[in-house]
Amino acid sequence: MEYTQIMTGSNFTNVLGFILLGFSDDPNLQGLLFGIFLIIYVSILLGNGFIIVITKTDSTLQTPMYFFLGNFSFLEICYTSVTLPKMLTDLCTKNRNISFMECAVQLCFFLIFGVTECFLLTAMAYDRYVAICKPLYYPLIMNHKVCVYLVIASWIGAIPGQIWQTYQIFSLPFCGSNKLNHAFCDITPVLEVACGDISMNESAIYAATVVFAVVPFLLILTSYIRIITSILKLQSSKGRHKAFSTCSSHLIVVSLFFGSGIIMYLRPKSSHFAGTDKVLSLFYNMVTPMFNPLIYSLRNKDVIIAMKKILPTSLGKQ
């Protein structure tokens, strides 16, 4: 059923829910999209789930690098599970309604997991920095307790600010259309149907993007400048190649996630278009989690060896 809007005394409407317009109204295209998104979601679950299993069970992968990778894979599953199941349900049932509270909860968790990913990628960059630039102190600095603290801080540090951000957005009055021109509840489409002065909210979004995305990205960039400088000082070409190979996978994931996310939230308001926003959202919400297992497994000999131990018949012949 369609959600209704109740007029209030201040001439604003009390929105009981929203309608997600999604990617297309074409029934044939919706079937195709359902198949594509289902394959993507299953790939994310299986690929990242497999990374979690091998990093927990293989004795050769019990290092800080793979501890972070296992947690990162778990985060990717959580991140995509906030939006993809709802998108699949909408495409299957053709019922695109989402209640006001469901939209708020979806946006809140979407932001929390997104910021957690920024923090966790930064922790992974710091791990690589210590491993390559301070190898003698690596076991002392990156002990298990420190790694656990960094992961916990990545999760907890994202929660307060994003709950406050969500509260501020959904405290706004809503009027006019209750149709969100997006596939899930994201900041930009929700603010587009909000009434009143949203300049403070937009400023808060820019500030939050700088603090929770740009600053971590700059820290990662600084780490890799120092890493590359240290690698270039190595006299052994084999040593340089090995050092670069341990960092390249992380750099690819960082580029995909931060590149699309920063472009999405730091662009001027005038350059926001629904089609572009939807495509960008696919990158940081689906493409990165889907390719994360491939990037880390195909470019990492330790992971390939661990995979062969678990799947000897299928991988051993290759």
Residue 11: per-residue pLDDT: 47
What is the average pLDDT value for the chain, to the nearest integer?
Answer: 83
- Looking only at the bridges linking them, the beta strands covering 17-20 and 179-180 are parallel
Q: What is the mean pLDDT of residues 294-307?
A: 72
296/311: higher pLDDT: 296
> What's the pLDDT tens digit per position in 20-60?
887 766 667 788 888 989 999 999 999 999 889 888 888 88
Residue 1: per-residue pLDDT: 44
Residue 251: per-residue pLDDT: 83
How many Å apart are CA 247 and CA 275, to the nearest integer?
Answer: 33
**b vs e for 261-286, b when ≥16 Cβ sit within 10 Å of the residue's Cβ?**
bbebbeeeeeeeeeeebbebbbbbbb
Band (pLDDT 50/70/90 cuts) for residue 318 is: very low
Q: What is the mean pLDDT of residues 161-183?
A: 86
Residue 4: per-residue pLDDT: 47
47 φ, ψ (degrees, to nearest 5): -65, -50
Q: Which residues pair with 17 in a beta bridge?
A: 99
Helix axes 301-310, 288-298, angle to 10 degrees: 90
Q: DSSP letters along 264-276, please?
A: HHHS-GGG--HHH
**b vs e for 129-156, b when ≥16 Cβ sit within 10 Å of the residue's Cβ?**
bbbbeeeeebeeebeeebbeebbeebbe
Instruction: Determine contact, residues 180/189, Cβ cutoff 8 Å.
Output: yes
Band (pLDDT 50/70/90 cuts) for residue 127 is: very high
Residue 6: per-residue pLDDT: 46
Band (pLDDT 50/70/90 cuts) for residue 105 is: very high
How many Å apart are CA 197 and CA 222, to the nearest integer?
Answer: 38
- Looking only at the bridges linking them, the beta strands covering 17-20 and 97-99 are antiparallel
> What's the pLDDT tens digit per position in 53-91?
888 888 888 889 899 999 999 999 999 999 999 999 888
What CATH architecture applies to the domain 17-299?
A: Up-down Bundle (1.20)
How many Å apart are CA 198 and CA 169, to the nearest integer?
Answer: 9
Q: What is the mean pLDDT of residues 129-144?
A: 91
Q: DSSP letters along 28-74, please?
A: HHHHHHHHHHHHHHHHHHHHHHHHHHHHHH-GGG-SHHHHHHHHHHH
Can you give the residue ranges of every domain in the chain? 17-299
Q: Which residues pair with 13 in a beta bridge?
A: 7, 174
Residue 43: per-residue pLDDT: 93
Nearest CA to 91 among 33, 131, 164? 33
Residue 257: per-residue pLDDT: 84
> What's the pLDDT tens digit per position in 253-276?
888 888 877 777 777 666 666 667
Indicate left, alpha or beta for 268 from its phi (over 0: left) and psi (-120 to 50: alpha): beta
Residue 5: per-residue pLDDT: 47
How many Å apart are CA 106 and CA 193, to the nearest integer?
Answer: 17
